[in-house]
């Protein structure tokens, strides 16, 4: 069982246009509404892959009712709140450029936050293999919410995978005990307080997190693949070139791919890049099915040259 916790889920509306032009009236080619939120996306990908998973999330208002309907048969545990579940908008252009408009979400009261954590603790008592804490935090939850999640996971002996940004990410990694930290390049750069332009700089920044008492770090690099940094080893992987339809949720699918049981960290990394690559080739927050995923097309390089610039990785022979 892999649990996911999404404190700030959403209904994601995606509009496809030829080109986004400010101040103009644009013709929309297609629209879709899909369940959103990073942990929700991870759970959806795991569910399609046939993994045993359950999503934990707060829901409220008409947006919460719509989200619950859109989740379909996804195994889930919903916690009712007074506020309205948010709606996000993504505009995707034919060249793959994605513009996201993310709403802040509802305000969680202390009692609602406690209810969400109590629901999580009930599930943790069943000893799942992983718990994934993912996404932004709604107002009222406190920047230390994922620290509290880490403490609960540690108390029950459950590995925690964390995918967030900003102050919640900083608080959680400084507290330690995160088994897998999954930032993208921008998030890791912000956390480290410096630009990260080559493989060596990314590796050094990731190892700073490991030195704080965390486990491995999976850094997603968009079209340049992903780097997995452990206490002793580093691997870089890239997938095949594909036409990018939407980048929304690609990192979540990569995390889901990594969590699918595999024989080694290298195989987990290979699955992560394969699932992320498949996701960007699909519109909106569409989750790839196993038939969309080509693990064999992913190349893994152990101990990549630390001087390689990140923006050159996609063109490496």
pLDDT score for 283: 81
Q: Which of 73, 143, 252, 296 is flagged as catalytic? A: 252
- pLDDT band, residue 58 (cuts 50/70/90): very high
Task: Tell me the H-state helices in the chain.
Answer: 38-48, 61-70, 110-124, 145-155, 166-175, 185-192, 199-210, 250-259, 265-280
Q: Residues 92-105: pLDDT tens digits?
A: 898 878 898 988 89
Tokens describing residue 244? 């990018």
Q: Residues 222-239: pLDDT tens digits?
A: 989 999 999 889 999 999
- pLDDT band, residue 23 (cuts 50/70/90): very high
pLDDT score for 246: 78
Strands (E) across 6-51 are located at: 10-17, 30-36
252 is catalytic: yes
Q: Residues 274-290: pLDDT tens digits?
A: 999 999 988 877 899 99
pLDDT score for 317: 65
pLDDT exceeds 80 at position 316: no
pLDDT score for 204: 97
Tokens describing residue 25? 């009236």
- pLDDT band, residue 265 (cuts 50/70/90): very high
- Find the helix or strand (DSSP H, E) in which 302 lies: strand 299-302
pLDDT score for 263: 87
Sign of CA dihedral 261, 36, 251, 132: negative
pLDDT score for 124: 97
Is there a contact between 136 and 103 (Cβ–Cβ < 8 Å)?
Answer: no
pTM here is 0.92
């Amino acid at each position: 069982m892999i649990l996911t916790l999404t404190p700030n889920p959403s209904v994601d509306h995606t509009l496809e246009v030829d080109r986004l032009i400010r101040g103009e009236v644009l013709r929309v080619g297609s629209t879709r509404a899909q369940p959103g939120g990073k942990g929700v996306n991870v759970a959806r990908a795991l569910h399609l892959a046939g993994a045993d998973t359950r999503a934990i999330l707060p829901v409220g208002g008409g947006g919460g009712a719509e989200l619950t309907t859109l989740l379909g048969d996804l195994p889930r545990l919903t916690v009712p709140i007074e506020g309205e579940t948010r709606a996000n908008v993504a505009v995707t252009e034919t060249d793959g450029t994605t513009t996201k408009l993310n709403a802040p979400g509802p305000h969680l009261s202390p009692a609602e936050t406690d209810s969400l954590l109590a629901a999580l603790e009930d599930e943790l008592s069943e000893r799942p293999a992983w718990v994934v804490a993912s996404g932004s935090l709604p107002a009222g939850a406190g920047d230390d919410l994922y620290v509290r999640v880490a403490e609960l996971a540690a108390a029950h002996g459950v590995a925690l995978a964390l995918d967030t940004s900003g102050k919640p990410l900083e608080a959680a990694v400084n507290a330690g005990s995160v088994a897998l930290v999954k930032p993208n390049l921008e998030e890791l750069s912000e956390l480290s307080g410096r630009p990260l332009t080559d493989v060596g700089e990314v590796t050094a920044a990731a190892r700073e997190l490991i030195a704080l008492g965390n486990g491995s770090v999976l850094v997603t690099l968009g079209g340049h693949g992903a780097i997995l940094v452990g206490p002793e080893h580093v691997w870089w992987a890239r997938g095949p070139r594909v036409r990018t339809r939407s980048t929304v949720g690609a990192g979540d699918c990569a995390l889901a791919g990594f969590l699918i049981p595999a024989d080694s960290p290298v195989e987990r990394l290979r699955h992560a890049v394969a699932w992320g690559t498949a996701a960007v080739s699909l519109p909106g927050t569409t989750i790839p099915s196993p038939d969309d995923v080509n693990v064999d097309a992913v190349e893994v390089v152990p101990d990549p040259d630390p001087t390689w610039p990140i923006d050159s990785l996609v063109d490496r022979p």
